[in-house]
């Protein structure tokens, strides 16, 4: 839970009931006797309303239409979450409530469990939104700082902090896409070499010959096309850090040259006759166990011992569940401006789907998925329907958890009433566009048209 209490505006008649809920210790309440009083405060005490996080609204004989009051509150405080109190015979207003931006609807007579669950959802949502805002700030001030809310990642950072002020080689071990480049940069930025260059090379992305010339450089005339001397990455990183990713892909010849460089701190450019002394710190990364490669005869054992001084394991994303929402928020604020989007939060079920998905591609896959989600999102809130198929299928296959989703309908609603209200909600959501509504409902437009004709008597 967050340290700052959540401010909730509530009708006086339900104050005691809310104060007895399990999450009440995380809330502070502002009570109002009726809608007319709330409207008066809206007009003369705007500062207090602007500082509130959420409000319970109800129909009464003092303040006029429920949705009119909600609209005025939204104009005063667009971030204010609204929860509507309705009688069970007002089920037809539920779709309209959510279309107008309601966070939740609770029915009278109150079900204690439903009210409890509604408040729990509210607290979780506001905490999640606050993390979004915090990540927006972090993205501006520390865009490359590793996210480490999970115990596994905190342990990894603690291990990195032990070695960041030394000159020992660093070996990062982790699956593809786990953010090894970010962690290598973190080590560099917190070392005495932070004012020097930080360069990277992927050993698996270049041919052995090209990789050798990229690392060690070459003299003019060393080979066809070498029209002038070129310093390699090891020289270019003098005084700083060079990160060699996928060192497990290095050829046998390159392994020999790297071993010699680590021992002597000198290099010989391709085609040169004299050595050059270089002061550079090396950080290596592998996505395969090097010990296994040594046993298989594809990696030199002497180089393995040179690199394996202080190996650091990078946990895969599936073992960093506490980090997923923070990483997703960071990527949303990173990419939303580039894509012309303004996203502030995620709707019910989105975070659950992110946590349930196994993320075989790790952080890299999460970042790509966030960009796809942003392209699909048409509002300031990401909904489950914005998720790619692999995540959407995960969301709809989540274990049955009563009351985890919004209680759109009263318990006694018939199947026909539920279907009617959901079709009406979908049509309102897409401004009457039957093609989009049918797609969201998972049916053909012709089926939607037929159901609308059959359900019209129920809607009346």
- d(CA 226, CA 247) in angstroms, rounded, equals 26
Q: How confident is the model at residue 405 (pLDDT cuts 50, 70, 90)?
A: very low
Q: What dihedral angle (degrees, nearest 10) is formed by the CA atoms of 348, 351, 356, 359?
A: 140
pLDDT at 411: 53
Q: Domain 151-313 class?
A: alpha beta
> Is it true that the peptide bond before 96 is cis, omega within 30 degrees of 0?
no
pLDDT at 406: 44
Domain range 415-459, its CATH number among 1.10.3470, 1.10.10, 1.10.287, 2.60.40 = 1.10.10
Residue 40 has pLDDT above 80, yes or no: no
Q: Which residue has the higher pLDDT, 391 or 448?
A: 391
Task: Burial-class residue 35 by CB neighbours within 10 Å (0-12, 13-18, 19+).
Answer: buried
Question: Looking at residues 292-306, what average pLDDT do you find?
Answer: 96
Strand partners, 311: 171
**Average pLDDT value over all residues in the chain:** 83
Residue 146 to residues 76, 149, 284, 356, Cα–Cα distance (Å) = 37, 10, 18, 22
pLDDT at 409: 54
Q: Which residue has the higher pLDDT, 315 or 443?
A: 315
Q: Does domain 6-110 fall into CATH 3.40.50.1980?
A: no
Sign of CA dihedral 122, 123, 127, 128: negative
pLDDT tens, 353-394? 898 899 999 999 999 999 999 999 988 888 888 999 888 776
Looking at residue 109, what DSSP letter applies? Answer: S
pLDDT at 454: 67
Which region among 28-32, 338-342, 362-366, 428-432 has the lowest average model confidence (pLDDT)? 428-432
Half-sphere exposure of 317 (CA within 13 A, CB side): 26
Residue 72 has pLDDT above 90, yes or no: no
- d(CA 100, CA 264) in angstroms, rounded, equals 70
- d(CA 285, CA 312) in angstroms, rounded, equals 9
Domain boundary assignment for the chain:
6-110, 151-313, 415-459
Which region among 70-74, 261-265, 305-309 has the lowest average model confidence (pLDDT)? 70-74
pLDDT at 255: 95
pLDDT at 65: 56
281: helix, strand or coil: strand
Q: Do domains 6-110 and 151-313 have the same CATH topology?
A: yes
pLDDT at 32: 87
């Amino acid at each position: 839970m967050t340290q700052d209490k959540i401010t909730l505006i509530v009708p006086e008649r339900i104050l005691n009931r809310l104060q007895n809920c399990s999450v009440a210790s995380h809330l502070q309440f502002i009570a109002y006797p009726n809608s007319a009083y709330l409207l008066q405060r809206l007009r003369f005490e705007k500062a207090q309303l602007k500082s509130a996080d959420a409000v319970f609204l109800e129909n009464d004989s003092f303040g006029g239409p429920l949705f009119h009051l909600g609209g005025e509150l939204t104009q005063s405080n667009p971030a204010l979450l609204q929860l509507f109190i309705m009688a069970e015979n007002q089920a037809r207003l539920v779709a309209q409530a959510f279309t107008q931006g309601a966070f939740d609807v609770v029915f009278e007579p109150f079900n204690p469990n439903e009210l409890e669950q509604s408040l729990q959802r509210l607290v979780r949502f506001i905490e999640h939104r606050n993390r979004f805002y915090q990540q927006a700030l972090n993205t501006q001030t520390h865009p490359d700082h590793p996210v480490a809310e999970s115990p596994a990642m905190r342990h990894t950072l603690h291990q990195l902090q032990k070695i960041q002020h030394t000159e020992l080689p660093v070996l990062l071990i982790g699956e593809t896409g786990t953010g090894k480049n970010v962690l290598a940069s973190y080590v560099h930025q917190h070392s005495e070499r932070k004012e020097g260059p930080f360069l990277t090379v992927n050993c698996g992305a270049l041919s052995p010959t090209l990789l050798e010339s990229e690392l060690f450089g070459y003299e003019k005339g060393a080979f066809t096309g070498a029209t002038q001397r070129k310093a390699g990455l090891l020289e270019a990183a003098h005084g700083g850090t060079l990160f060699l990713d996928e060192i497990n892909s290095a050829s046998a010849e390159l392994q020999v040259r790297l071993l010699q460089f680590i021992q002597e701190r000198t290099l010989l450019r391709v085609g040169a006759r004299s050595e050059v002394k270089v002061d550079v710190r090396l950080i290596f990364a592998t996505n395969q166990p090097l010990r296994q490669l040594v046993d298989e005869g594809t990696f030199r054992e002497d180089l393995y011992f040179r690199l394996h001084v202080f190996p650091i394991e990078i946990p895969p994303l599936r073992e960093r569940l506490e980090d997923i929402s923070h990483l997703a928020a960071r990527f949303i604020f990173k990419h939303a401006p580039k894509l012309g989007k303004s996203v502030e939060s995620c709707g019910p079920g989105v975070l659950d789907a992110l946590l349930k998905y196994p993320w075989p591609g790790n952080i890299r896959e999460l970042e790509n998925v966030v960009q796809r989600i942003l392209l699909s999102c048409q509002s300031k809130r990401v909904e489950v329907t914005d998720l790619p198929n692999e995540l959407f299928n995960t969301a709809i296959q989540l274990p049955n958890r009563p009351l985890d989703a919004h209680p759109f309908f009263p318990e006694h609603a018939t199947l026909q009433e539920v279907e009617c209200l959901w079709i009406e909600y979908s049509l309102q959501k897409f401004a009457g566009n039957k093609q989009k509504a049918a797609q969201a409902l998972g049916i053909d437009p012709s089926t939607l048209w037929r159901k609308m004709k059959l359900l019209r008597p129920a809607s009346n």
